[in-house]
Chain A
C-alpha cells in the first residue's frame, strides 16, 4: 500500500488530536468535576403514579445538611414544579442536587448562562448536582419540544445569600 510520508505524518497528528481531546475531557470530568446528568442511574418510576407517591408528590426543596439541599422537580406540560409561577429559591454556595422526572412527555431542563442541562424523561429520574457560587436570578427553559405550548414553558431560579435563605418553606424529609 502506498501511503505518502506526509499522509503518515497527518495520521499521526490526527491520532494525537484525538488523544488530546479524550485527555482534556477525562481531565475535566475527573479533576475539574465537569460531569453529566444521570451518573447515578437508578430505579425507574411509573409516570402514571409518580405524582401520587413520595417524593414527587411533594415537589420542592429539602434540606440534607447545612451544605446540601435536594430539589425534587417535575417537568410537565407546560411548567416546572417548582420554578414556574413562584421562583425556585436556593442558597448560594451550598451543594444542590436536582432530581427530576416527568409524568407526561419528554422535556428538557436548561439554565441559560450556565451548563446546567438535562433531559427529563417519563419513567426515569434525572439526577445531577451543582453549586451556585453567587446570588442572582437565573431562568429555566424547556429545551426539548414537548407540545403546542413548548415555547411558553419556563421557570426561574432565585439564588440568595445563605443568611437570607428562608428554611421555613422546605419540605420536611
Chain B
C-alpha cells in the first residue's frame, strides 16, 4: 500500500536524527502553544505595520490621486 513514506530507506539511516529526539509526542498530546504565540505576535505586527503604513505613510501625504 503506497504511502508518503515508502520503505526505500534503511531504518538505521534515521538513527542519527532520532538520537537527538528526547521524547515522542502524539497527535492527541500535542498542544501547539508556541505556534499560537509566534503567529499571534505576527498577527499584531501585521495589523500595526499595515495601519502605520496606510494611515501615516500613505493617506496623510498629499498630493495623491483623488479621482
Contact = CB atoms under 8 A, between A and B. Distances in A.
Is A in direct contact with B (CB under 8 Å) within the complex? yes
Interface of A: 2, 4, 6-7, 9-10, 13-14, 17, 20-21, 24, 28, 32-37, 39, 95, 97, 111, 113-118, 128-133
A111 B65 CA distance: 11
Interface residues of B, number: 23
B63 A116 contact: yes
Which 5 pairs across A and B sit closest by C-beta, in order of nearness? A129-B67, A130-B63, A115-B64, A33-B66, A128-B65
B27 to A, nearest CB: 7
Contacts of A35: 65-67
Contacts of B27: 2
B67 A97 contact: yes
B2 interface: no
A49 B59 CA distance: 39
Contacts of B31: 6
Contact of A129 (B33, B43, B65): B65
A127 B54 CA distance: 23
A115 B36 contact: no
Contacts of A17: 43, 46-47
B65 A131 contact: no
Given A13-B43, A20-B47, A130 B64 contact: yes
A33 B43 contact: no
